[in-house]
Chains A and B, each alone.
Chain A
C-alpha cells in the first residue's frame, strides 16, 4: 500500500488509476526495487511520510505521471520545436558566426610585430596614458614570450566581437527600457534570469540547436551572459539624467530624437561606459566556459589543465586570462574617467 492511496480513493478516482498500484506496468522506482529485494512491503512510519511528490503519487496510482515523465516531456517538447526554431534562429545568428570566424582569422593572420603596436596605439587613443600603454606592452610581451600569443589573440578576437555585439544590441534595448515603463517591466525578469541562470544551463539547449563546430554556439552563450550589465546601466543612465535638463530641452522645443542624441545619451555616457566595462569583464569570464563548446583561446588551455591535470598549463593560462582582464578593465576604465572629467559638475 502506498501512502497517498487515500487521495485517489477519496476522490473516487480508483477506476481512472486502473489496477492498484502494485503491479504497475510503467517505470519502476528506486523504492519499488528496494522493496522487491528486501522481499516484503516496506512499512512506512508516520515520521517518514514522503513529500506528496509526483513519484509518491505514482506509487498510489499508476496513471499519475512520474517526475521522469516531466523531464523527458520537456526534452521531447524542445526537440519537436527544434527544427522550427532552427529555421528562424539559424539565419538570424549566422552573421555572428561569420564575424567570429573573420575576427579570429584577422587576429591570427596579422603578425605580432604589427598587432602588438596596434593594440598599444588603441589603448593610447582611448586612455591617453603612457603608463597604460606600457602595461599593455608588458602583458602581451609576456604572453607572447611563453608561447601563448595565438591563444591570447583568439580570446581577444572573441571578446571584441561579442562585446561589440552586446553594445550594439544592449544600448538600444536599454534605451527602449528607459523610454517605456512597460518594456522595462518585461525586460527586468528576463535580465534577472540571464544573470542568475548558470551559464552551463543555457549551453545545453544551444548544443541541441546548433552544431558544436559552429562559432555562433559559443558566441550566443557569451552574448546572453554578458549583455545584461550594458542593458541595465543604459536604462539606469538614461533614467538618471537630470529631469531639469530634460525639461529645458523640452522648453526649447527639442524633438524626441534630438533629446535622445544630444542630451540623454551624452549625459548617460558615464553609466553606459561602466556597463560596457562590466560586459567585457563578463564575456572574458564566459570565454573559459565557452571553451567546453569548442571556443578557441586561453580557455582551451585551462580546460586542458583540468582534464589532464596539467597544473602548470592551467595556472599559466589562468594568469594569461587575468592579465587580459586587467588590460581590458584598465583601458575601458581610463576611457570612462576621461568622459567623467569632461562632464563633471
Chain B
C-alpha cells in the first residue's frame, strides 16, 4: 500500500455542529467526549481528529453506523460542509484555502459525487442529467451528448437518454447518477451511501458494476456505507468510523482478521468470512517440500477453496501468484480463520503475527 500515491489526505479534521463551535472545539481537543459535549454545551461533535490517506486509483470505503459522521466526512472532501479545524489535501493543494471559484472548478472537473437519493434533476432528460457537469461548464447539449451517451451505454442505459428520471426505476436512476459522475471525467468519485436505497439484488448488480468500472478506469473512489458486506466487497482500503472518530483503518482482510476494538469484532462477527477472506490473507509461508492437493490463486476466496477441497480438512494447497508459488494453505488453518471468536485468535497469536507480516508482504507485492 505504501507504494501507491496518496490522492486525498485528511489531516487533524474536526467538525463541531452548534452555535459557537470554536470554544467547544477546544474542549474536544482537551479530551471531552461526544456525549458530554452534547449534554453540557449543546454542541454536537461531528468529526473528531480524523486522519485518513486516500490512495489514488483505489476504492476507499468509509464505514460506520448512522450517526458515526461518515456522511459528514465525505462532504468535507468537496467542502459541502466546512470543517471547524483541520486540513484536506487534494493533489497537494489544501482545498480549505481555495477561493469560491477554485472550489467550483474543482467540483466541476476534479471531483464528482453520487448520492444516496440519486438527486437527479426531475425536469431534465436522462441525457441532460448525465451531462450535468459539462453543461455547468457551459457546453450545450449537442457538444456533450456523445460523451454523456457513451457513459450511459457503459452503465447499461443504452437508448434511455430521452426518458425523464421519474420514468426509471430506482436502480436505473442510480445508474444515471453514476453516468453523471463519470461524464464529468473527474479523477475522484465520492459515493455517499450510493446503493443503500436500492433493494438487495439490484444493490449486488450495482456493486458488480462499480467493481467492473473500477477495474477499467481506476478512479479514486471514496465510498460511504453502513453495510460491512458491501464495504468488504468494494474496498481496497477500509476506514471504520464510530462517533466521529476513526477506530481502525487499513486493508479490509487485515481488519477482518485483526479487529482493533470490541466494536469492530461485533461488526465482523456476522460476516460470511469464507466469502470475504482471500487465500493470501490466511496462507502460510511457502516451503518447497511436501505434497499439495493442487494449486490455487492467491486472490481466491476461501469459499472457492472449500468447494474445491470438498470439505476435506487434511489437504493443503500451493498458493500461486502470477504463476509463481508464494505460499502454502493448510485447510485446518483455513477452517480456523473462519471462526471469529476472540479465544481462537488469542491462541493463535504467534502464528497470527506471522500471518500479519505475511499479509503485509503480499499487500506490498500486490500493489506493485
A258-B136, A345-B165, A345-B166 known; A251+B78 contact, CB < 8 A: yes
Mark interface residues in A241-272 (1 if CB within 8 Å of B CB, else 0): 01011011011111100100011001100000
> Are the CB atoms of B121 and A263 closer together than 8 Å?
yes
Pick from B106, B119, B180, B190: contact of A253, CB below 8 A.
B106
Asked if B89 is at the interface (CB within 8 A of a chain A CB), the reply is: no
Most central of B78, B111, B132, B133 by chain A CB within 10 Å: B132
Tell me the bound Cα distance from A225 to B99 in angstroms. Answer: 45
Asked if A344 is at the interface (CB within 8 A of a chain B CB), the reply is: yes
> Are the CB atoms of A267 and B104 closer together than 8 Å?
no
Tell me the bound Cα distance from A245 to B123 in angstroms. Answer: 11
Minimum Cβ distance to chain A for residue B138 (Å): 10
Tell me the bound Cα distance from A258 to B135 in angstroms. Answer: 10
> Are the CB atoms of B104 and A255 closer together than 8 Å?
yes
> Are the CB atoms of A267 and B80 closer together than 8 Å?
no
Mark interface residues in B91-108 (1 if CB within 8 Å of A CB, else 0): 000000000000111111
Pick from B112, B115, B123: contact of A247, CB below 8 A.
B115
Dominant secondary structure of chain B at its interface with chain A: mixed
Taking CB atoms, residues of chain B closer than 8 Å to A196 are none
A253-B136, A342-B164, A345-B165 known; A248+B113 contact, CB < 8 A: yes
Asked if A343 is at the interface (CB within 8 A of a chain B CB), the reply is: yes
Mark interface residues in A98-126 (1 if CB within 8 Å of B CB, else 0): 00000000000000000000000000000
Asked if B117 is at the interface (CB within 8 A of a chain A CB), the reply is: yes
Minimum Cβ distance to chain A for residue B328 (Å): 48
- Please give me the residue from chain A that is nearest to B100 by CB atom: A255
> Are the CB atoms of A251 and B80 closer together than 8 Å?
yes
Pick from B117, B136, B184: contact of A254, CB below 8 A.
B136
> How many A-B contacts if CB must be within 8 Å?
67
Asked if B122 is at the interface (CB within 8 A of a chain A CB), the reply is: yes
> Are the CB atoms of A253 and B105 closer together than 8 Å?
yes
Minimum Cβ distance to chain A for residue B280 (Å): 37
Which size bracket describes the interface of B in this complex?
Answer: 20 to 34
Taking CB atoms, residues of chain A closer than 8 Å to B80 are 247, 250-251
Minimum Cβ distance to chain A for residue B222 (Å): 13
Tell me the bound Cα distance from A254 to B135 in angstroms. Answer: 10
Mark interface residues in B110-137 (1 if CB within 8 Å of A CB, else 0): 0111010111111100000000110010
Tell me the bound Cα distance from A212 to B103 in angstroms. Answer: 57
Minimum Cβ distance to chain B for residue A139 (Å): 33
Taking CB atoms, residues of chain B closer than 8 Å to A245 are 119-122
> Are the CB atoms of B108 and A252 closer together than 8 Å?
yes
Taking CB atoms, residues of chain A closer than 8 Å to B103 are 253
Please name 9 further chain A to chain B contacts, defined as beta carbons within 8 Å, in addition to the given A250-B107, A252-B107, A253-B107, sorted by A numbering. Answer: A242-B119, A244-B117, A247-B80, A247-B119, A252-B180, A253-B109, A255-B104, A262-B121, A342-B123
Interface residues, chain A, CB within 8 Å of chain B? 242, 244-245, 247-248, 250-255, 258, 262-263, 266-267, 342-345
